[in-house]
Amino acid sequence: MYTYGRHLLCEVSGCDPSIIGDVDKVKEILYQAAGLAKAEIMESTFHHFSPQGVSGVVVIAESHLSIHTWPEFGYAALDIYTCGEHTDPEGALNYCSEKFGASEVDITRIERGLKEETGGFSHRLSNVGAA
């Protein structure tokens, strides 16, 4: 299996609290996002915190999508990590951002699983910025 993967590490701001605070909606959005990323869903787990907040992970054949939300701040910490050249993590991010009603996304893109000549593996930041 390919070790090469792309990881989008995102702080998503200005989200609709009624969406990111609803565990069923968050799960549905992440499932759709995984499909748009051309990923194969293996398993998932989602948790609703009291009084508010959602944490969830979708394990895909190509790594994972994870989310933690703070509806009281309209904020979600989102990670989309997909291995393989066939995947589209950016498509998944765009979909999530739109569905959450986000106004701002701070993104760091990381290329992971890079094989070094020494035999070890490394990662590389491919850019840093806001979208």
- List the catalytic residue out of 15, 83, 96, 97: 83
63 belongs to the catalytic site: yes
Is residue 129 near a copy of itself by the rule CB under 8 A? no
CA distance 72 to 117: 47
Shortest distance (Å) from residue 29 CB to a copy of itself: 17
Is residue 110 near a copy of itself by the rule CB under 8 A? yes
**6, 109 Cβ separation under 8 angstroms:** yes
Is residue 3 near a copy of itself by the rule CB under 8 A? yes
Is residue 23 near a copy of itself by the rule CB under 8 A? no
**38, 87 Cβ separation under 8 angstroms:** yes
CA distance 40 to 82: 10
**71, 52 Cβ separation under 8 angstroms:** yes
**23, 40 Cβ separation under 8 angstroms:** no
Q: What 3-state class would DSSP assign to 63? A: strand
- List the catalytic residue out of 63, 64, 96, 97: 63
- Applying CB under 8 A, which residues contact a copy of itself? 1, 3, 5, 7, 9, 11-14, 42-45, 47, 49, 53, 55-57, 59, 61, 63-64, 66, 68, 70, 73, 75, 77, 79, 81, 83, 103-104, 106, 108, 110, 112-115, 118-123, 125, 128, 130
